[in-house]
Amino acid sequence: MEFNLKEINENKKEILIYFKIYDKDLPPLGKHGDESFEEFADKNYYSIIKWEYYFEGNDNDSDNLALKNPKSIFDFTQSDWKPLELSMDNTNSFSQTGKIHFKIPGNFEGIDKKTLVKMWIRATLKSNNYFIPPRIESILCNTVSSTMGITTEQLLKNKSSVLSESTWIDENPYLVDNTVNPTLLSNGFANQIFQIDDVTKLPILIIQSLKIEYINNDRKKVVEEWTQVYDFDSSFPFDKHFVVVDKKNGIFKFGDGENGKIPPIGSKVILKYKTGNLKDNLIINEGKIFEIDSISKSTGTPFQNRLPPEIFGINIHPSTLGTLDEDIKETVIRARTELSTPFKIVSKRDCEYIAKNTPGVRVGKIKVLTNNEVNGYVAVLDIQGNNLDIEYIGEPENLENTLFVSAIPYTFSKIPVINLQFLNTILKHLEKHRLITTKIKMVVPEYVKISATASVKLSNHLTDQEKIRKEIYDVLDHVFRPLPSSFENKEFEGWEFGKDIYKSEIITNIEKIEEVDSVLNIVLNATGSYGSFKKDNGGNILINNLNLVILDKVDISFIQ
Sequence ranges of the domains in the chain: 2-141, 150-275, 348-443, 447-559
Quote the pLDDT of residue 383: 85
3-state class (DSSP) for residue 16: strand
For 278-334, the pLDDT digits (tens) are: 555 555 565 555 555 544 444 444 433 444 555 556 666 666 666 666 778 888 888
pLDDT of 61 over the 50 cut: no
For 253-277, the pLDDT digits (tens) are: 999 999 999 998 888 999 999 887 5
Q: Is the peptide bond before 203 cis (omega within 30 degrees of 0)?
A: yes
CA dihedral (542, 546, 552, 553) positive or negative: positive
For 176-221, the pLDDT digits (tens) are: 444 567 788 888 889 999 999 888 888 888 899 999 998 887 888 8
User: Cα(272)–Cα(172) distance, rounded to whole angstroms?
Assistant: 26
Quote the pLDDT of residue 77: 61
Mean pLDDT of 327-346: 87
CA dihedral (283, 288, 293, 298) positive or negative: positive
* Separation in Å, CA 71 to CA 61, 66, 83, 514: 17, 7, 20, 56
CB of 253 within 8 A of CB of 193?
Answer: yes
User: Cα(9)–Cα(142) distance, rounded to whole angstroms?
Assistant: 11
Residue 81 — pLDDT band, cuts 50, 70, 90? confident
Quote the pLDDT of residue 108: 60
pLDDT of 169 over the 60 cut: no
CB of 414 within 8 A of CB of 124?
Answer: no
User: Cα(440)–Cα(427) distance, rounded to whole angstroms?
Assistant: 8
The answer for residues whose C-beta is within 8 angstroms of residue 274's C-beta and 6 or more apart is 147, 149, 150, 151, 152, 204, 205, 206, 208
Quote the pLDDT of residue 187: 85
Helix (H) or strand (E) holding 212: strand 204-215
